[in-house]
A and B are shown apart, each in its own frame.
Chain A
Amino acid sequence: MKRFWNGYQKAIADDHYFYERSCIRQTFFPGSETAFLKILREELGKDILDNPHQHTCTGIGYHSDVVPFDTTMTVVARLFALMTECGYKNYVPSCVTSFGVFTEVMAKWEEHPELKEKARQYLWDACKREFEVPENVAHPSDIIYKFRHELKPKMKYQLVNRFTGQPLRVVEHIGCHYAKIFTQNGIGNAEFPYVLAGMIEAWGGEVIDYPERRHCCGFGFRQYLVQENRGYSIANTQKKFESMESYEPDFILTNCPGCNMFLDKWQYTIAEMEHKTYDKEGYGIPVLTYEELTGLLLGYDPWSLGLQLHQVQCERLMDKIGIPYNPSEKYIGISGRRHPSPEKPEYLKV
């Protein structure tokens, strides 16, 4: 695969990033974005702005055909205006769909400059703001990938099974909107993306290639958002798990909010529906975001990373890596208040 990976590299800014949070990640994987900011600021010494005035990119609505393109352009223009007003030129959207929306809008503006002027006028009419197009748009996973070798010496743990000494076997899954819209915007390419594989390899793990590696995670907006279509969603996820099962992956690594959520949560649903789990012992396959993985290897507290909010629990994975954790602190929130333990599922072991 390296032959392809080398052919698809892209420019990623070195420093001074304007960060845009995802509208759904803080609910599903609440520690990831905070971990990313901490990694950049404290581990890499980078300047990254987390602007409190930011808002949705319209991605889910846009891809579900309920938000028209002109609206999306104007919302994107407002986000760019926030970046411009703060003096930044490098835009970093947390969500893969946002990344897809920004790259799509910018490509449209490049090919049809009149649309950019239209967006400028809409924005001015709406809120009297002005914007510059970013010089660089990179997904946070691009940035972690870029600095993966710098981060490695700071890491306390590697992706190695401490019981066997063997590399952990990792399934990587890339969000569709990362490189399937514009191949040149992804590290690697749409077929064999390297952005997560590069992290896994650099940190000691082994990437698993399985027949349905390129298949959809099941999130597909119309499959999931329309309740009657959810059978398609879970069927897609099930297809992936059936395909990867025989490779016995230690965990799944993703860079998209939807992929994270569906590959994790549908394991519970499939277990309830089919009484089927995809690891030999019935615990399921843990699903991590790249920020969670980076944080774990750097030695961050797993509960501050939000791992207790995963459907498939990560303790067995942490045991394999040798990461210490305190089970009694699992449900203590940042305020110090102890939250009730969740009810245990019937079939998926926790």
Chain B
Amino acid sequence: MKKIAILGAGPAGIEAAAVLAANNCPVTLFEKGQQPLCNITDKAFLFPNFADADEVAAALRAKLDNPNITLRCNTEVTQLMPSFIAGFQEENLTGTPVWKVNEELYDVVLLATGYTPFDAHRKEELGYGIYAGVHTSLEMEKMIREKKIVNSVGENPKRVVFLQCVGSRDEKSGNHYCSKLCCVTAVKQAIEVKKLLPECETYVFYMDLRMWGQHFEEMYRTAQQDYGVTFVRGRISEAGGTFDDRVQIKAEDTLLGRPLKMTSDLLVLMVGMEASKGTRQLSEMCHICGEYGFAQSLDPHLNDCRTQGRGLFVAGSCKRPMTLTDAINDGRAAACEILTSL
């Protein structure tokens, strides 16, 4: 029986483990955190259908209830390399190297180490960590989860501004790519804010809105028509604190061609996705590190779950920014590839 290790108990890792386990393949699922699915359990509702994030997480977690799956939380993988590099002689009959995962040997490894949110401190001009009214989209999600959206003095905000593309499509931070899900997340969060605080003005500053997924465009229209969310095409160049602990922003409305200054109770920075530390380190270790630290598959069209390392597979947002739906599907696809290779 081949030994299979899956690194990362996010949606892609769990889905792959479930498929493999259902096909009588024992898998060991490594998770560095205390619990699996930490990038879902910090959300309130999921686009585009406002599904309860806890329910989705619970459904995914239920898939782990299989005797073929061994979940090891609080276990960070710091070593991943083929055995012949690691100094071992073992190699199976097909010539596939045995992979050294920490101190153990596995025949097959699936890298599903995911992403990490962009650190908004790096966009210094936006004042995150300096002005109390500046938050990330993750912090806004937490407020929505707790149904308690408050400004820096603990009152309900009268105005909330969302800013797209923080750490994505941005030369200054070095991330030229689109993180793909911030656009729709801002639309979703703006709607949530209006649901909780109907009197609150909400603005979304964007470069261009990429409503590429099913129902995304409808959500965007709903946000404008039914919830009165205002969309402004322009990037915010600077945020500063005001005398009453609000946030003053400067931007250009590029449709009107005019500079704009606005004071808001909250400025929400829609932070993009970056390769997680684990993704960077492990993909570098086994020489599959691609652009921006994401893991590189063999071919984006025909072999998107295989890598140049035999027996080494990749799935989910360790490859590129992905939505939850895409990550689950990708985990399933990787499991199929692994089953084919066994």
A residues apposed to B, CB below 8 Å: 1, 3-4, 189-192, 209-214, 246-247
Contacts and interface: CB of A to CB of B under 8 A. Distances in A.
Nearest to A246: B243
B114 to A, nearest CB: 26
Of A210, A211, A214, chain B has the most CB atoms within 10 Å of the CB of A211
B166 to A, nearest CB: 15
Interface residues of B, number: 11
Given A192-B124, A209-B240, A214-B238, 6 more contacts: A4-B124, A189-B124, A191-B238, A210-B241, A211-B240, A214-B240
B195 interface: no
Contacts of B129: 3
Contacts of A4: 121, 124
A169 to B, nearest CB: 13
A210 B240 CA distance: 7
A1 B240 CA distance: 12
Contact of A1 (B130, B242, B243): B130
Contacts of A246: 243
B323 interface: no
A211 B242 contact: yes
Interface of B: 121, 124-125, 129-130, 238, 240-243, 248
B240 A213 contact: yes
Contacts of B124: 4, 189-192
Contact of A191 (B125, B243, B248): B125
Contacts, number: 29
B143 to A, nearest CB: 23
Nearest to B121: A3
A192 B240 contact: no
Contacts of A213: 240
List the 10 shortest-distance A-B pairs measured between CB atoms, nearest first. Answer: A211-B248, A191-B124, A211-B240, A246-B243, A191-B125, A211-B242, A4-B124, A1-B130, A209-B241, A3-B129
Contacts of A214: 238, 240
Contacts of A211: 240-243, 248
A214 B240 CA distance: 9
A171 B136 CA distance: 29
11 contacts: A3-B129, A4-B121, A190-B124, A191-B124, A210-B241, A210-B243, A212-B240, A213-B240, A214-B238, A214-B240, A247-B243
B22 to A, nearest CB: 48
Nearest to B261: A211
Contacts of A212: 240
A118 B125 CA distance: 37
Contacts of A247: 243
Most chain A CB inside 10 Å of its own CB: which residue of B130, B241, B242: B130
Contacts of B242: 211
